[in-house]
Amino acid sequence: LEAYRAGGLPRDRVALGIGDAYDGVVERRFDVRSAHGDLLDILRDRKKRGCLPRGVMHCFTRSRDLAREYLRLGMYISVAGPVTFSNAHKLLDTVRDVPADRLLIETDSPWVSPEPHRGMRGEPAYIADTFRRIAEIRAGDPEALAEQIWQNAMAAFNLNW
């Protein structure tokens, strides 16, 4: 979508890439910086036509209202290191609001490291810092949250471990 918005890719090609390969099993990971309106339009159209892919909103940092739009379309909201940043006020509200059965967590390695590793190369082990912050924000049982996130990942990516 970023290529479409920059004028380098026709919108119909973007829409084809999102839905035409969908077979009911394949998930989509959506990495969207500034094209949320366009993606929502495409996903709503796919839903009307009965070919909406299961999807994960990668490294989501936006408002709870935008998260709710994606949730209405059946998407999972995946949270990474920015949830630990002191200026992540909107994201904190989003993390509190996302239903437990639609929440995922990720590292976004090697890019966006959580505090106290901000500015350093991201490592998968840093996911523990991100998880601790999410558990703190949600103020629930961390063990139950970890189990729910595991179940969500199994469902989102059609895994059976």
Long-range contacts of 23-31 (CB under 8 A, 24+ apart): 25/158, 26/53, 26/54, 27/53, 27/54, 27/55, 27/56, 27/156, 27/157, 27/158, 28/53, 28/54, 28/55, 28/56, 29/55, 29/56, 29/58, 30/55, 30/56, 30/57, 30/58, 30/75, 31/58, 31/59
Three-class SS state of 20: coil
pLDDT at 51 exceeding the cut of 90: no
pLDDT at 130: 95
Decide which of 20 and 53 is more confident.
53
Q: How confident is the model at residue 85 (pLDDT cuts 50, 70, 90)?
A: very high
Task: Give pTM, 2 decimals.
Answer: 0.80
pLDDT at 114: 93
Compute φ and ψ for 104, nearest 5 degrees: -130, 165
pLDDT at 33: 61
pLDDT at 54: 79
Decide which of 38 and 6 is more confident.
38
Mean pLDDT, all residues of the chain: 82
Three-class SS state of 107: coil
Tens-digit pLDDT profile for residues 106-139: 987 788 899 999 988 989 999 999 999 999 999 9
Q: How far from each other are the two terminal CA atoms of the chain, in whole angstroms?
A: 33
